Structures are given as structure tokens and as C-alpha cells.
Structure 1
Amino acid sequence: MAIIPDDKDWTWVLDRPCPECNFSASKATPATAATMVPALLPRWEAALQRAGAEERSDPGKWSVLEYGAHVRDVFEVFTSRLELMLREDNPTFANWDQDQAALDGNYEALDPAEVAADLTQNGLDAAAAFGAVTPEQWDRRGRRSNGSEFTVVTISGYFLHDLVHHLHDIDA
């Protein structure tokens, strides 16, 4: 069974805590991302070492492996978006279809150990990028292709919510 694409607009998490994972994105800053990402990495590494990490518990839901590959890519996407916001004035981000990325990247056939290693490295790179942001840069803006506008601060919270929410999704 194919995964049903997630077409929800999750930007509402910037205004109120997520009732599923309880994360409050509105309290996050780039400094929060810089410290929180490394603290979350061991949970992802442990989840990807589970027996059956490549198996879907529900045919319509990603496996732990597929979620891990997604998060590996989330680190790259958000690091790129952050760097673009710091380099350009009010840029528009290229569209990223996470469901198409899963198909194109053949997430379900990847090696969990390789995904864990890449996820960890990408996470450390993301943490370093967010950690290098100065408070004077927090109000810099960027826009998603659908028009949703972010500041460096709000993209930090939006990014962290994705990581925490997916840990909730896989019970890690």
C-alpha cells in the first residue's frame, strides 16, 4: 500500500503547541536548535538500530527507516533554507515534496546503519549552522513556495517540530 501524502500545512505549530507531540515551536530559537538537535540524535540512532526498523507497522505509514531517511533529508533542506535566508534578502525556497523525495530516494530499501550515520552527520551540520546564527540575524525572512513566510526564529521552531514530531511518530 502506498503512503498517503501529507498535504497538511503544519505552519500552525508556530502559534500553538502540537497536541500530538506536545512540542511548542514558538519557544524555539536558533540557539535552541543548535543545542537540541545533538541531544535528539541518539534517539534517532537507537531507533534505526531496532530490529525490524525497515518494516512498516501499518502499510500506510512510513517505517522507522523511512522516517529516519526523511529526517536525514530534513536536516539538509532546513540547513540550506537557513543558509539562503542568511545570504539573501527574503528568498523563496525551492519546493520540496517529501513524499516524492521518499520515492526518488527509495527510502524503504536503504541500509538503516547508513541512514543513521548520514542522519547524524547532517544533524551535526544543521546544529552548527543554527549555532552560528547571531541574534541580529533572527529577523531575516524567507518564504516557502506556497507563500508561508518565516523568520530565522520561526524556521528554527518549525524545523525542530518536524524532528520531535517524527520521534513521536516512531515511539522513540
Structure 2
Amino acid sequence: MNNLPYSVAQRLQSQHLSMAEMMGAVPDEKLQAEIITGKWSALDNAAHLAVFQDIFKGRIERVLEEDEPLFPPYKWEEDPLFAEYRKLPVKELIAVYNDGRADFTRFANTIAPESFGRYGRHSVYGRFSVAELVEMMILHESHHLFIIFKLLRVTPK
């Protein structure tokens, strides 16, 4: 990962570990609770992160193979894997998530240095390089981890 900025490489290696630290000992019932009406539960946010690593990997693969592919926004309502993951017990979901991160990290380590400058486009977020796409994944993950952190501390309404 010598081709990623230092902070991105470091977060890619360790940021995901906070999910198990926050959620590992929390009962599934609490994690599945809709704390804020109409919003995802903590477990839903975790399921989304487990799914999204593969989505980002697929997007990067397309950038490596195609000239500036266009990516539509992700629609969780149409994702059968998300529906499956959100039903898993937290310990299984964390294992899936960690395995996905190991796979993504191995994949990122195989990207040739010159390929980090290749570009893709997102219909909402614009043009981005492979390196920026990895950072986008890490920042997106951070956002959902923070939501999980907050949901575990809020009283249901």
C-alpha cells in the first residue's frame, strides 16, 4: 500500500477493528433495535459496511479495466446481500466484515503503482482516482462507524 497516502493506508489496516470493539459484547436485540424511527439500526449500519467493501472493490476493478467507468448511487433496497447480512448475528457479521477487509486489503496491495492514477466517475460525487476511491471507502466507513457509536448510546424513542 505504498501508493496510498500514509493516513489512508493506516486506517485501511485498523479502522474496521472498532466495529468489534463497539458491538462485539452488545446483545443482538439491542443492535437490531430501531433507535431513531425510520433509520437504520446499529446492525443495519454494520451490514451496510460489510456489503460496501465488495462494492468498492468491484468499482476499483472496473476502473482498472475500463476508461473512466460511471458508477450509479448504491441502492440498499435493491441489494439482496445487504438483506441477508442484516439478519446475521453480530458475531457472524463481524467475521464477514473482517474477512472482507482482509480480502480488500490483499486486493489493494496488488494494484500497480501506475494504476492508482486511473479514474472513474460517480453520478453524484464526480471524478475520482483509484487512490481517492480507497479513501472514499475509508471515510464512508468512518461515517457509519460513528453512527453505530452514537446509536449504542441513545435511548430508543
Could you tell me the TM-score, scaled by structure 1's length?
A: 0.71
Deviation at 1:131, TM superposition (A): 2.3
From the superposition, tell whether residues 139 and 89 of structure 1 become closer, same or farther in structure 2 (CA, over 3 Å): same
Runs (4+) off by over 4 Å: 30-34
Helix, strand or coil for the counterpart of 1:53? helix
Q: Which string of whole-angstrom CA distances, capped at 9 and with x for unpartnered residues, describes residues 119-139 of structure 1?
A: 111111112222222331121
Deviation at 1:102, TM superposition (A): 7.6
Percent identity over the alignment is: 24
From the superposition, tell whether residues 127 and 31 of structure 1 become closer, same or farther in structure 2 (CA, over 3 Å): farther
- 1:90 equivalenced with 2:68 (yes/no): yes
1:1-150 alignment runs, 5 A limit = 29=4, 32-49=7-24, 50-51=26-27, 52-93=30-71, 95-101=73-79, 105=83, 108-145=86-123, 148-150=126-128
Distance in 1 separating the partners of 2:37 and 2:86: 12
Helix, strand or coil for the counterpart of 2:120? strand
For this pair of structures, how many residues does the alignment match?
Answer: 145
Q: Which string of whole-angstrom CA distances, capped at 9 and with x for unpartnered residues, describes residues 18-76 of structure 1?
A: xxxxxxxxxx9376544422302221123332232222221222111101100001101
Distance in 2 separating the partners of 1:47 and 1:62: 17
Contact 2:63 2:130 in 1 (8 A): yes
Q: Which residue of 2 aligns with 1:24?
A: none
Q: Which string of whole-angstrom CA distances, capped at 9 and with x for unpartnered residues, describes residues 53-105 of structure 1?
A: 22222122211110110000110100111111112222223552134438961
Gap regions ≥5 residues in structure 1: 1-27
Contact 2:119 2:129 in 1 (8 A): yes
Gap regions ≥5 residues in structure 2: 151-157
Helix, strand or coil for the counterpart of 1:109? coil
Helix, strand or coil for the counterpart of 1:159? helix
RMSD over aligned CA atoms reads: 2.7
